[in-house]
Structure 1
Amino acid sequence: MVEGYLASGQPVGSKTLASERGLNLSPASIRSVLAELEGLGLLAAPHTSAGRMPTETGLRLFVDGMMQVAEPSAQERRAIEKRLAAPGPIEAALEATSALLSDISGAAGMVMVPPREPRLAQLTLVPLGGPRALAVLVGEDGGVENRVIELDAPASAAALEQAGNFITARLAGRTLAEAAAAMRADLAQGRSQLDQASRDLVERGLAVWSEDAARRPVLIVRGAANLLDEAALADIDRVRQLLDELESKQEVTGLLDAAREAQATRIFIGSENRLFALSGSSVIASPYRDREGRVVGVVGVIGPTRLNYARVVPMVDFTAQTLSRLGALGKRIG
């Protein structure tokens, strides 16, 4: 009965159940059983003459104790691994992951990377002419960022080189916050041989990355259009509410952050999570790890409570495992 509802999104009646093979009961007997389950709060009837559909409590019972999980086929596993292992920047890998989960589930795919500040490996300052310089920042994770910084006055190539060398030699291996604090301590205690102009360059070179890091996006959502299927359009207010909730990325990351503490895939059904209680949506999310085994992000799917849990749950779990495996091999995944 639950599987029939998840497949169609429509209430299932006793006549439909009676016609199924292997169920040797009359429609009257089935109606009696359905009524008992409704009294227990596991089923609900949207209309007097309609069939029944599982409540959130009923769905939770089904997912936890009765669902037969459909493991990804060898072909599906190869397709997931191939897409995620494709060469390119981390942004492309995360985009591919989110789009992949959307394709698999027919809902919206989500990937969250928690806010983090890279550790500095090298900084180079290059003159651009006039009161401007290019800061080339290289992180220990291999990430490279270029930023144009405005100076109070033109600086020579030698002064820029001195400032870049000072940062690289003295502050490598630290986050920008740690580097800035150490640099200020050196300057305050007179341990630095830099002149005032070079000190200003060091300050600016560090600050540009710190400010940018705080503004980095931490959530990628793809496939929101999949939420607008025929069944959803019959309840357009719910869909509008869901899309509004997806726009609140800070709240969504808060929800996914709860999944970071889990050892395996977590399932939030309807009002079990505060954020999506009004739209009656479900979230399936699983953490993924880096080469040291630390959780660095979460992958997941969001959609109506009638998601195909038996198929989507193992797909999300395998996608997270694949990302973790790539991280263990040294691919930058978060």
Structure 2
Amino acid sequence: MANKFKRSYKFAIKTSIYITVFIGFLLAAFLYYMDNLLWIPFLVFLFVIYIFSFFIIQQRVEYFIYRRIKKIYDNVSLLDSTTLRPSQVTTDMATLTREVEKFTEHKKLEIEALKIREGYRKEFMGNVSHELKTPLFTVQGYILTLLDGAMKDKSVRKKYLTRASKGVERLIYIVKDLDMISKLEVGDLHLQMEDFNIVELVQNTFDLLEMKAAKKNITLTFDVEYQKAIYVYGDRERIQQVLTNLVVNSIKYGKKDGTTEITIENLIKNKVIVRVTDNGEGIAKENIPRLFERFYRVDKSGSRKEGGSGLGLAIVKHIIEAHEEKIYIESVFGVGSEFSFTLEKSEELPEISSESDIF
């Protein structure tokens, strides 16, 4: 029962008893000396003294502690000033201790998260610097060589200007991707939503990347032959970019004579899921959580030789999230990877009739 009382109550009760006993002793001694001691009025008087002392002490103690605690909160900035209302600042020391410990633990986690983000930020800045300086130094080198006299030779001039142009194109490519991902992150990129045939879009992607895949003899294929159109609702151009980036990655990290396969499945009543599967290098488990970060590379040396801006997967993630959809990844190192994303079905999409979830 005693545990249910506030500690300030216990303090007030004990202090009130001390005051009452002290006053009662003095009053009893005085009345006894005056030979005028009446027990009933005397006890009533002591009771009134006790009640009065208890409430005065209790209120003053709570007010005193509240003021001191609020001042501590203000001084050390433990809580936001807008939360400092009397009902929220406890005068119970045990409760206060728990609140401070909870707050401290929360701030500790925040600090650790900020340290991790700071590490990512430094890594990101280093990656941006590397991605930009490589083509910049290439362009600068060719131009300086031409200015030093090589431009007098027409064949050398044309060759160096062509190479410098490729370096500028790479810079433009990186800057465009950075601009796009910035717009996606701040929600400034407006999607042109429409109904379109996802099967046709995948086939267009295959046709576009056929020559690139042929260099490694990688087969681009559907899991089955889709006889009917499958309509989804989204931004056709952006989903084309998603498919292109995912297929390019599967080719880039795929094994020679390998396969990149795309599957379109029924997920739930109003959703489809598009899977891009390859039998390439695969991704180690520890790298998967950071795979969609800007410029993050699993193989920091080898992957740069493959080209690209290093922003492909980050753009894919933001485009899918801009559609309010989900993207998933499953990968086994040395076996292959599967990237999948959901899309909303179009109203024109026919219902599936087989027991299989595959259209």
> Same fold by TM (over 0.5)?
no
- In our comparison, the structure showing a higher alpha carbon Rg is 2
User: Would you tell me which structure has more helix in proportion to its own residues?
Assistant: 2
TM-score (norm 2): 0.20
